[in-house]
Amino acid sequence: MNEIKETPIVILNFKTYLESTGENALKLAKSSEMVAEETGVNIMVAPQYTDIYRIAREVDIPVLAQHIDTIDAGGHTGSILPECVKEAGAVGTLINHSERRVELFEIDAAIKKADSLGLSTVVCTNNIETSSAAATLNPDFVAIEPPELIGSGIPVSKAEPEIVEKTVESIHNINPKVRVLCGAGISTGDDLKAAIDLGSEGVLLASGIILADDPKKALLDLVSKI
């Protein structure tokens, strides 16, 4: 994943909010692109599958899928073919988000499949132990998100700073090439700065921006302290 070098990294997970669906998704992606251009921060967006194509064509920031299935092309009605999200314009994918967890062997298979297609991989994990496990599988990124803080408004970088620090340390002991993000409860500039200060290279976030009254303003605030 040569194209994702700059830090900090902000991955905006669109999840399945109406505020980030269809036209709203496109608008949010354009706001993200503007903030990325204005500030130089590396902002990526992870819209719903159905919105990847139009967003990838209309904005010039990296677009990720929210999940891929580890299938080969064929008879798999309703599944997410990695080749299809790539052709639509995605340059990477989340894997094992806490809202879309997959089996251990699938994480391994998804990383290998993504690598073979040139897609970046962001494996989401829930604690230090599973972050270390994910690191052995050699993804581009591990994003740790304590599930109890997701959507809570309580930032992991403040509520559980030691988890972020220890995750960074443990992952780098196992595999120094893996880059660490953190998430859960992140929404402000202070939250992002704290995440960076703890050794992570950025954040994965969603509702704190998507559900803000003015998402562009919220994004500008998010990146204002770095």
Is 15 annotated in a binding site? The answer is yes
Three-class SS state of 11: strand
* Distances, alpha carbon 25 to alpha carbons 5, 22, 59, 166, in Å: 25, 5, 11, 35
Identify the active-site residue in 67, 97, 160, 201. 97
Identify the active-site residue in 67, 145, 160, 201. 145
Residue 3 designated active-site: no
| Beta carbons within 8 Å of 112's beta carbon, 6+ residues apart | none
- Between 135 and 195, whose beta carbon lies closer to a copy of itself? 135
Is 206 annotated in a binding site? The answer is yes
In angstroms, the CA 169 to CA 9 distance is 19
Residue 23 designated active-site: no
Three-class SS state of 44: strand
The DSSP call for residue 164 is H
φ and ψ at 23, to 5 degrees?
A: -60, -40
Is 74 annotated in a binding site? The answer is no
Q: How far is the CB of 147 from a copy of itself (least distance, A)?
A: 8
H/E element, 88? helix 82-88
φ and ψ at 189, to 5 degrees?
A: -60, -35
Q: How far is the CB of 110 from a copy of itself (least distance, A)?
A: 11
Q: How far is the CB of 72 from a copy of itself (least distance, A)?
A: 9
Is 185 annotated in a binding site? The answer is yes
Is 120 annotated in a binding site? The answer is no
- Between 8 and 139, whose beta carbon lies closer to a copy of itself? 139
Q: How far is the CB of 142 from a copy of itself (least distance, A)?
A: 11
* Distances, alpha carbon 190 to alpha carbons 20, 76, 158, 163, in Å: 24, 44, 9, 17
| Interface ranges with a copy of itself (CB under 8 A) | 13, 15-18, 21-23, 46, 48-54, 66-67, 71, 73-81, 83-85, 87-88, 94, 96-105, 107-108, 125-127, 129-130, 132-138, 150-151, 174, 206-207
Q: Which residues are annotated as a binding site for substrate?
A: 13-15, 150, 185, 206-207
Q: Which residues are annotated as a binding site?
A: 13-15, 150, 185, 206-207
Q: Which residues are catalytic?
A: 97, 145
